Amino acid sequence: MADPQLHPARILVSSTRKPISYINLAKRFLQEHGEVHLSALGIALASLVTVAEILKDRGLAVEKRLCTSLESLSDDYRTRQKPKMDVVLVKSPDFDDIIAQESRATAGDDVAAELEGALAVDKEIDEEGGTGKEVDEVHLLTKES
């Protein structure tokens, strides 16, 4: 594979963000490029493993390559070594079907939420005994009196 620095679908996983925040980005890269390159350093390794395992457990990706190393980091006073991990995941054979199912489920949830909202408004109107305008007019008349 080409230099990992130049990979078009590279995600640098951080320990400051929740692992779940990388899932949608990884899915988009899998759709666009057919693979995603996850990379992490030091304590962010746990987050990288979590992201990779979630994608694999959901049937969205298959592990293509796993590489571990020690990265030397220098500052003004000393040189330290940090563990580094790179994982390349490729689309699973069922990726497109799973994404289509997720899209249908999300669309269904949106329609259900709209229906619930409409039913709540209808219920309010029925409880008030009108369209709601009458209530506002009565409220205005009592304020002016």
- The low-confidence residues of the chain, meaning pLDDT below 70, are 1-6, 108-145
Q: What is the pLDDT of residue 105?
A: 82
Consecutive H or E run containing 107: helix 95-128
Q: What is the pLDDT of residue 87?
A: 97
Helix, strand, coil share (%) of the chain residues, nearest 5: 55, 25, 20
Q: What is the pLDDT of residue 139?
A: 44
Q: What is the pLDDT of residue 17?
A: 94
What CA–CA distance (Å, rounded) separates 112 from 89?
Answer: 34
Residue range of the domain that includes 122: 99-144
Q: How many domains are there within the chain?
A: 2
The verdict on residue 1 lying in a domain is no
Q: In terms of domains, do 77 and 50 share one?
A: yes
